[in-house]
Structure 1
Amino acid sequence: MASIPGKCTGAHQSHTGMAFLDHPPVPPRSEASDGTTTGWRGRARKPLIGLLVCVLLLGVASLAGILWLQAKVEGNIQRLPDTFTGLTDRPSKPTTGAAADAMNILVLGTDTRSETATTGAEAPGWKPGQARSDTMLLVHLDGDRRAASVISIPRDSWVDIPGHGKGKVSWAYSFGGPSLTVETVETMTDVRIDHLAVVDWEGFKALTDAVGGVDIDIPETVYDSARGVRWEAGRHHLDGEHALLYVRQRYGLQDGDLDRVARQQAFFRTLLEQALAQELRTNPDQVLDLLDLFAKHASVDDDWSTTQMARLAVSLRNLRTADINYLTVPTNGTGMVGDQSVVHLDPSSDLWPAVRQDRMAQWTEDNQDLMTPDVVR
């Protein structure tokens, strides 16, 4: 059994026996002449760079940056053919108002157990029955590009899969690949998906290592019986390999799949904030390296050109980490269907109408209790 302790110095024991850690001092906040704050929290509000949206820097750069994107990324990124071809009875996209300019991107993490990148040249992005999407995020970009919502759909969500009856939403990728996954999510949400991105787990590990690892707080000691890993309470500095173990655990967590998606969201948020703290946006070479890395481990629908990505990047130039909300689709908890452990979605939730109508700013304000907290189990 592997035991993974918290990796901070100065740990001491409380009267309850849980290890609490002395954290490094936080730089003091100071008031700048323009009224903004400096220090770590101030830096966290700088324009966003990260996993899928690291193209922002190139988008706001010169023509040379866009040409680099086309030459470098286009040569590495894999295209998913016919993702939307043949889909009928799709949700309509609004043609007027803010909702007409909003964008919905479905992001999948695949669990193919392959030594090669599942979306790279050496291995196909999807083989029938051999892969499932064990991470599913719907990223909603507000029409004014001033805010975004990252909505997790638990892989065990029990939904209608067109042509296959009821099943876990993750099965759609196994049954019919990207196209059926899009159709399933659109059927479930009545939200029109504009683009699709698939990222393999090797890319996730490589990106974590590229930024020097990520610090995560674990509030209580837990044991992952599936992988034989014990996570001690405290702060952990995770490299790519351990980050993957962290975000994929569900056994030993109180709410199973729901706790797993909360971990994934907390990790992604911290990854973005820590990348900003390293001042990546002032180091073009490092940003270009991350872009290149992302391209080698990602696939996107073949309707999404690099020129369109660059234009999207320009439109997101004012988006800040503080303006990104993370949440899980509302549920009625977990249960069993036959021998399957499933997540029951809440059919009365007004989340998806808010997404369709681009009212997420107000919805998140009214549902703060559903936002993913900074520290999760």
Structure 2
Amino acid sequence: MHHARPRPRRRRRVLLWSLIAVLLLTGTGAGYLYWRADRAADAIDRIPDALPELPADQQPKATGGQTFLLVGVDTRADVPTTGDDAEAPAWQTGASRSDTMMLLHLAADRKDATVVSLARDTWVDVPGHGKAKLNAAYSWGGPALAVRTVQDLTGVRVDHLAAIDWNGFRALTDAVGGVDITVPRDVPGRADAPAYRAGTHRMNGAEALAYVRERKGLPRGDLDRTKRQQNFLRALMTRVLSGDTFSSPSRMSGLLDAIGGVVSVDDKLTNRGLYDLAWSLRGLRGSHVNFMNAPFGGFDSVDGQSVVLLDRKRAAPLWQAIRDDDVAGYLEAHPPSDELGTTDPVR
């Protein structure tokens, strides 16, 4: 007897119900976490036109791994919408300057990652505007001009952009139960900046925010501030990747809720792209993330402005290592120094 083959639509329906059955058999927890993750991804705002539209010959060549430009701001801007519920635009000319810029490079094999902080006062060429401080690029032309400026400075192709709200990190820090930040030496209090005794401190969201925002009382100003930001990110990453967070339903729930209020990404990064990225990083540990500052070339004054100079000669092999997806080789050939910042004490 001849039996007709199931139609494609029926096959898809069978696969769908099979998947649902598997989720039910393995418990509602998996389905619930998937639903929460999807909701969290939907809550992450997409920034339109965040990446520059340039001819191929004006873009750095795509290389191994994946590189993000992380832009820190005090208050995350919301993506504009239409209709009666329209919100303020994600960026307005002159409305704000980026507080922090970091290049995050993820190795192609996802075994390690590198974060390079770029001081906001770094003296650079801003396309179409001439010489200026790096953070002026965001003020004048928004995310796309900031990305283009960093690409021109480093020769590194930026694949995606993420805007980080430092204020929002308060909620994220509290969601994981605080972070442990090690202060290597006693730090006296100045003005409204708290004093710290040498040692490890468990900081809640408000305390961590005060820690990363302090700048005027630090010996090297913005350079030391970037070290504090790196120290905080390292502590937060360690906490998030710990078993304490992933084994606690309440903390996981709070963490997923907080993410959407902390990060906005370019509109090229879809929910599927976020899932794939998160899955690819499942084996990464905090100990495999390198933190450093772009090689420091000194301070200067230009037209009454205090600026930071980049040591371009020392920076060149670092940018090349990122393009070649070989930061590990770079660190072997260039042991960390005070200026590079991977082992520099954080004040």
TM-score bracket relative to the smaller structure: 0.7 to 0.9
Q: How does 1:226-265 map to 2 (within 5 A)?
A: 228-235=192-199, 236-265=201-230
- Measured in 2, the distance between the counterparts of 1:320 and 1:232 equals 28
What amino acid maps onto 1:132 in structure 2?
A: R
The 8 Å contact of residues 46 and 264 in structure 2, kept in 1 or not, is answered as yes
In the TM superposition, 1:195-210 aligns within 5 A as 195-210=160-175
State whether residues 217 and 375 of structure 1, in contact with CA within 8 Å, keep that contact through their aligned partners in structure 2. Answer: no
For structure 1, the 5+ residue unaligned runs are 1-60
- Which gives a bigger RCO, structure 1 or 2 (Cα 8 Å, sep 6+)? 1
CA–CA distance in 2 between the matches of 1:296 and 1:321? 23
Residue 90 of structure 1 corresponds to 59
Counterpart Cα distance in 2 of 1:203 and 1:333: 32
Identify which of 27, 42, 53 aligns with 1:75.
Answer: 42
Please say if residues 110 and 200 of structure 1, whose CA atoms lie closer than 8 Å, have aligned partners that are also in contact.
Answer: yes
Give the match for residue 364 of structure 1: 331
Contact persistence 2:59–2:157 (CA under 8 A): yes
Contact residue 103 and residue 117 of structure 2 kept, 8 A: yes
Q: Return the match for 2:297 from 329, 332, 349.
A: 332
Matched, 1:346 2:311: yes
Residue matched to 2:127: 162
Name which of structure 1's ranges 196-205 and 269-278 shifts more when overlaid on structure 2: 269-278
Decide whether aligned partners of structure 1 residues 375 and 237 sit closer, same or farther in structure 2, where only a CA change above 3 A counts. farther
Letter in 1 for 2:66: M
Contact conserved, 2:172 with 2:258, CA < 8 A, in 1? yes
Matched to 2:197, the amino acid is: A
Cα distance 1:136–1:196, how it changes in 2: closer, same or farther (>3 A)? same
Q: Counterpart of 1:234 in structure 2: which amino acid?
A: A
* Match among 91, 112, 119 for residue 78 of structure 2: 119
How far is 1:232 from its partner?
Answer: 3.5
Of residues 302-311 and 270-279 in structure 1, the stretch that sits farther from structure 2 once superposed is: 270-279
Structure 1 residues 290 and 153, CA gap change in structure 2 (3 angstroms): same
Given that 1:104 and 1:193 are in contact with CA atoms closer than 8 Å, whether structure 2 keeps it comes out as yes
Please tell me the residue identity of whatever aligns with 1:130: A
Closer, same or farther: CA 372–274 of 1 in aligned 2, 3 Å: same
Structure 1 counterpart of 2:97? 132
Q: Which residue of 2 aligns with 1:190?
A: 155
1:304 and 1:66, CA in 2 relative to 1: closer, same or farther beyond 3 A? farther
Instruction: Provide the TM-score with structure 1 as the length reference.
Output: 0.74
Q: Distance in 2 between matches of 1:342 and 1:249?
A: 18
Report the more deviating stretch, 306-315 or 120-129: 120-129
Letter in 2 for 1:221: V
Q: Equivalent residue of 1:231, what SS?
A: coil
Alpha-carbon displacement from aligned partner over 1:132-176 (angstroms, at most 9, x marks no partner) = 111111110011111110111111111111111111111111111
**Residue type of the alignment partner of 1:368:** P
2-structure distance, mates of 1:77, 1:230 = 33
Code of the residue aligned with 2:174 in structure 1: it is D
User: Shift in Å at residue 242 of structure 1?
Assistant: 2.4
> Which SS does the other structure have where 1:290 is aligned?
helix
- String of CA shifts for 1:234-258, please: whole Å, max 9, x gaps: 3443222222221122212111111
**Within 2, Cα distance between the matches of 1:282 and 1:198?**
28
SS at 1:105 equivalent: strand
- CA–CA separation in structure 1 for the residues paired with 2:282 and 2:134: 33
The structure with the largest helix share of the pair is 2
Check the 8 A contact 1:66/1:307 in 2, yes or no.
no
Read off the aligned partner of 1:92 and give its amino acid letter: K
Deviation at 1:63, TM superposition (A): 7.8
Instruction: Give secondary structure in 1 for the equivalent of 2:109.
Output: coil
- Cα 1:274/1:188, change in 2 over 3 Å: same
Mean Cα deviation higher: 328-337 or 345-354: 328-337
CA distance in 2, matches of 1:303, 1:66: 22
What is the DSSP-based 3-state SS (H/G/I as helix, E as strand, rest coil) of the residue aligned with 1:205?
Answer: helix
What amino acid does structure 1 have at the position aligned with 2:343? P
In the TM superposition, what is the alpha-carbon distance from 1:74 to its structure 2 partner? 4.0
The one-letter code sitting in structure 2 at the alignment partner of 1:359 is: D
Equivalenced residues, count: 304
SS in 2 for 1:207: helix
Match of residue 37 from structure 1: none
Q: Report the counterpart of residue 105 of structure 1 in structure 2.
A: 68
Q: Take 2:42 and 2:106, find their aligned partners in 1: how far apart are those partners?
A: 27
Partners of 2:245 and 2:345 in 1: CA distance: 24
Residue 63 to residue 351, structure 1, CA distance change in 2 (3 Å): farther
2: CA distance, partners of 1:313 / 1:278: 17
In terms of Rg, which structure is larger?
Answer: 2
Q: Contact between 1:83 and 1:302, CA under 8 Å: does it hold in 2? A: yes
Describe the SS at the equivalent of 2:141: helix
For residue 224 of structure 1, report the CA deviation from its aligned partner. Answer: 4.0
- Report the 3-state secondary structure (helix = DSSP H, G, I; strand = E; otherwise coil) of the residue aligned with 2:168: helix
Indicate the SS of the match to 1:344. Answer: strand
Question: Structure 1's 298 and 153: CA in aligned 2 closer, same or farther, altered over 3 A?
Answer: same
